[in-house]
Amino acid sequence: MGEFELIARHFTRPAPPGGAVLLGVGDDAALLRPTPGHQLAISTDMLVEGRHFFAGAEPEALGHKALAVNLSDLAAMGARPLGFTLALALPAADEAWLAAFARGLFALADAHDCPLVGGDTTRGPLNLCITVFGQVLPGQALRRDAARAGDELWLSGRTGEARLALALRRGEAWATGAPINEADVAAAADRMDRPTPRLALGQALAATPGVHAALDVSDGLLGDLGHLLKASGEGAEIHVDTLPLAPALQGLALDHQRDCLLAGGDDYELLFTADAAAHGAVLAAGRAAGVAVTRIGRIAAQPGLLVRDAQGRAFTQRARGFDHFGD
């Protein structure tokens, strides 16, 4: 199978009629038509074998995850997806692998009306790079620099399960020795392998007056919150006891529980801020999107990030998150 046959067989599908795609895979460039009056939102994320996923990872889940992490970025801007491109380096043209990868990829793409419109295919160490294109109304994008002192700080879903699943897969003793039942282990593994981009929530929040800033939690809650605070020039206080605790985390020692919750990574939940007056509207947006939203703290004028425990005492979290060029 040559390069062009591979593209034709696995990555070429007719553009859905009536959507934003005027011309998809097959020409020198795709043609997209956003709804008049909207802004384009564009984001790229790369998954590298051995870095973001284990060698030999299940290809269907990989197809899902490669797109999911990109859609999560659009969700965090409050944007609606229009389409995506896929740049793919493959060590070999393995039919079964490609078919499974495409299955996972297109299932998620179809679920969000986000067609594949182009890409590039080359031989090389396994590397998946997706660029997503979305649209958002002027003034509605949820930017990192828009948090204001006094805002309530919110989190969608819950954090920590992906980190626990990673530890279990690596055989880290603090996780393998903890009492966790099989169903909870499976749920945690699913969070790592098949994250859910919070697109409906992001769009509902973007349309909610009083919602200010947002980002998606991919590298650990505290680390990512730090990015939002830096961009906004504000500080924050988090109450760790208000963070929803997945059943799988309940049997962990407290330190490890907090590491997972606050610095786990790979969560793909939305962290966002809103006027206290918008509290009810935020809860309604969560209900409309079918995602739990929890108030976990507040934005403060004094700089820094204060984490409080159940007794209200400040404590220092030992790890904050993941940095590819950190130590």
Among residues 179, 157, 188, which one has the least CA distance to residue 269? 157
Ranges within 234-253 binding ligand ADP (CB under 6 A): none
Asked if residue 91 binds ligand ADP (CB under 6 A), the reply is no
CB nearer to Mg ion: pick between 25 and 189: 25
Strands 269-274 and 235-239: unpaired
Q: Does 2 bind ligand ADP (CB under 6 A)?
A: no
Which one of the spans 25-33, 94-102, 133-141, 188-196 is the region binding ligand ADP (CB under 6 A)?
25-33
Nearer to ligand ADP, 64 or 320 (CB): 64
CA–CA gap between residue 263 and residue 257 (Å, rounded): 10
Using a 10 angstrom Cβ sphere, with 0-12 exposed, 13-18 middle and 19 or more buried, the burial of residue 34 is middle
First to last CA, the chain: 42
Which of helix, strand or coil describes residue 299? strand
Phi, psi of 121 (to 5 degrees): -130, 130
Contacts of 17 by beta carbon, 8 Å cutoff, 6+ apart: none
Please choose which of Mg ion, ligand ADP, none residue 175 contacts, taking the beta carbon within 5 to 8 angstroms, the exact cut-off set by kind. none
Residue 26 interacting partner from Mg ion, ligand ADP, none (CB closer than 5 to 8 Å by kind): ligand ADP
Q: How many residues bind ligand ADP (CB under 6 A)?
A: 13
Q: Figure out which of the listed residues 7, 76, 129, 300 binds ligand ADP, where binding follows CB under 6 A.
A: 7
Q: How far is CA 200 from CA 59, 151, 210, 313, in A?
A: 26, 22, 18, 36
Q: Does 133 bind ligand ADP (CB under 6 A)?
A: no
Q: Does 13 bind ligand ADP (CB under 6 A)?
A: no
- Pick between residue 15 and residue 178 the one whose CB is nearest to ligand ADP: 15
The only residue of 121, 127, 242, 294 in contact with ligand ADP, by rule CB under 6 A: 121
Interface with ligand ADP, residue 26, by CB under 6 A = yes
Q: What residues make contact with ligand ADP under the rule CB under 6 A?
A: 7, 11, 25-28, 86, 88, 116, 118-121
